[in-house]
Amino acid sequence: MERIAIIGVAQTKYQRNSPSSHDEMAFEVAQKALEGAGLSIEDIDNTVTCTNDFWDGRTISCMTITDASGSSKVPTTNVEGDGTLGVLMGLMRILSGHFKTTLVVAQSKGSVGIPGLITNAIFDPLYERILGLDGINSAALQARLYMSKYGITEEQCARVSVKNHKNAKNNPYAQLPLDITVKDVLNSRMLADPIKLLDASPISDGACAVILARESETRKISKKPVWIKGVGHCSDTYHLGDRDLSDVGALQSAAKRAYDMAGISNPPKEISLAEVYDAFSYMELMWMEGLGFCGRGGGGALIDSGITEMGGSLPVNPSGGVLSAHPVLAAGLARIAESVLQLRGEAGARQVAGARVALAHGIEGACGQGHCVFVLKS
């Protein structure tokens, strides 16, 4: 694969009920990403936006940010999905040879709608929706099965929440920097057994932008480019009952593709840090297994070992992860942006010392039906 780099990133502060409209948030990050890269809008020859019609309450939701994402004068497309898939689309557009520099902008305002209603619409209207399934209770079905099958405890899940909210204290963009204990998590309000309030990510507003460029363009900028070494995406089947919800095959397949492309054979040894899509605490443990950072069922022992803490050999979600800010669609893009900051050595108080290779991960649909994995290198 031709060398493609990420040369600019920007994020808004993530918060609930942000006073900014969709386009104001999108413009803020688009402009900041350009400034950070030392580029002007004329240097951008195409854009990719990531918006969702349900979350935004608007058909053709990408229209909302067409002007604000700099898409009015250059070819653009809209990936209605996680920001990681937006970057994949941007990457393919450059690799096709027809573009040099792609601006990717993702935004969402969870506070505009009612997440339970919006996530209910993920489920099959013919067979599933009438049961009142939504993002939280479907995750609870998955968590219960996964935990029961592999003997993962609620304490181990709680530890993920404690770690990530603590990490968020070092991230100025995070929404929920918290000093909490495992007991706080276990005693927080039960939403859908075994998921409690502090096992779940918040409702967030926010935007994120990333600029990709082919190698020849990177010479124009002063910032250290961060190279895309591998990428893979994959989906499981759709009906909840047809899936083995404790299985992580789709993630394994996406990761394998990304690792093969990047030449990574021993992920826990070769990867310095990971930013993964922990919409719920148990997910981080499951995704660790799917990404090959431990064996199947090893997620619990992995968090117990402290390896994934800041200062451990494989810090996971130094930013505080999605548990600390969950602007849907932008959330996966934020994983990439945070990984880039780490690899540039610009992650401030959340910097992982000596970070060389980072993994960024996004999910799509209910219970991680779809996954997208990026391997990035300084």
Partner 1 sequence: MTVELGNTESRIHQSRIRLKYNWWLGNVGSRFYRELRDRCKIWGIKCSKCQVVYVPPKENCPKCFCQMNDWVELGNTGTLITYTVVRYPVPSIQPQKPPFALGIIHLDGAQTGFPHLLGEIDLEKIRIGMRVQAVFQDVRGGNLLDIKYFKPQKE
Partner 2 sequence: MSSQKQKAESSELLSISSIVDVPYNYNAGYYVSQYLRELKENKRILGVKCPKCQKVYVPPRVVCSQCFVQTKEFVPVSDTGTVMAFTVVSVPYTNPNTGEPKKLPFTCAYIKLDGSDSNIMHCLEEVDEKKIRAGMRVRAVFNEIRTGDHFTDIKHFKTIAKG
Partner 3 sequence: MGRRTAIVGVGQTNHRSKIPECNGQELIAIAVRRALDSAGLTIKDIDAVVVGNMDHFESINYVDMWSVLGFAGYMKPVLKVTTGGTTGSAVGHAGFYHAASGLFDVVLAIGWEQNSESDTTAAIVTHCEPLIERDFYGGAIGGLASQYSAYMDKYGATEEDAALVSVRDRCNAALYNPYAHLRKTVTVGDVMSSPYIAYPLRLLHMCPRSDGACAVIFAGEEKAKKITDRPAWVLGVGSSHGATYLGDAIAIPGLPSLEKASRDAYKMAGITNPFKQIDVAELYLPAGSAGVAWMESMGFCEEGGGPKFIKSGVTNMDGELPINPSGGVIATNCIGATGLIRIGEAALQVMGKAEKRQVPGAKVALATGFGGCFWSDVTILCSQPRLD
Beta-carbon count within 10 A of 63 CB: 15
> Any contact of residue 117 with partner 2 (CB under 8 A)?
yes
> Any contact of residue 191 with partner 1 (CB under 8 A)?
yes
**Choice from 13, 31, 170, 238 touching partner 2 (CB under 8 A):** 31
Distance CA 351, CA 342 (A): 6
Whether residue 194 has a cis bond before it, omega within 30° of 0:
yes
Choose among partner 3, partner 1, partner 2, none what residue 240 binds, the Cβ cut-off being 5 to 8 Å by kind. partner 1
> What is the SS3 assignment for 358?
strand
Choose among partner 1, partner 2, partner 3, none what residue 366 binds, the Cβ cut-off being 5 to 8 Å by kind. partner 3
CB neighbour list of residue 199: distance below 8 Å, 6 or more residues apart: 143, 157, 158, 161, 185, 188, 191, 280, 281, 282
Write down the residue that tokens 């104001």 correspond to: 24
CB of residue 23 vs partner 2: minimum separation in angstroms?
Answer: 6
> Any contact of residue 67 with partner 1 (CB under 8 A)?
no
> Any contact of residue 126 with partner 3 (CB under 8 A)?
yes
CB of residue 24 vs partner 2: minimum separation in angstroms?
Answer: 5
Taking CB under 8 A as the binding criterion, the range among 65-73, 158-166, 193-201, 352-360 that sits at the site for partner 3 is 65-73
Distance CA 274, CA 357 (A): 9
Q: Which two tokens stand for residue 135?
A: 């993002």
**Angle at alpha carbon of residue 95, lines to 89 and 101, rounded to 5°:** 75
Comparing CB distances to partner 1, the nearer of 55 and 173 is 55
Question: Are the C-beta atoms of 259 and 158 separated by less than 8 Å?
Answer: no
> Any contact of residue 75 with partner 3 (CB under 8 A)?
yes
Site for partner 1 in 125-144 (CB under 8 A): 125-134, 136-137, 140-142, 144
Choose among partner 1, partner 3, partner 2, none what residue 27 binds, the Cβ cut-off being 5 to 8 Å by kind. partner 2
> Any contact of residue 13 with partner 2 (CB under 8 A)?
no
**Angle at alpha carbon of residue 232, lines to 163 and 97, rounded to 5°:** 125
Write down the residue that tokens 């499951």 correspond to: 286
**Choice from 92, 95, 112, 191 touching partner 2 (CB under 8 A):** 112
DSSP 20-47: S-HHHHHHHHHHHHHHHHT--GGG--EE
Comparing CB distances to partner 2, the nearer of 65 and 347 is 65
Comparing CB distances to partner 3, the nearer of 123 and 173 is 123
> Any contact of residue 235 with partner 3 (CB under 8 A)?
yes
Site for partner 3 in 22-61 (CB under 8 A): 23, 52-54, 57-60
> Any contact of residue 125 with partner 3 (CB under 8 A)?
yes
DSSP class of residue 282 equals H
Taking CB under 8 A as the binding criterion, the range among 38-46, 61-69, 88-96, 120-128 that sits at the site for partner 1 is 120-128
Give Cα 63 distance to the centre of its chain: 23
Tell me the CA distances in angstroms from 126 to 131, 140, 237, one per residue in order.
Answer: 11, 22, 16
- Residue ranges that bind partner 3, judged by CB under 8 A: 1-2, 23, 52-54, 57-60, 62-68, 71-73, 75-81, 85, 88-89, 91-98, 118-119, 121-122, 124-126, 231-239, 249-250, 253-254, 257, 364-366, 369-370
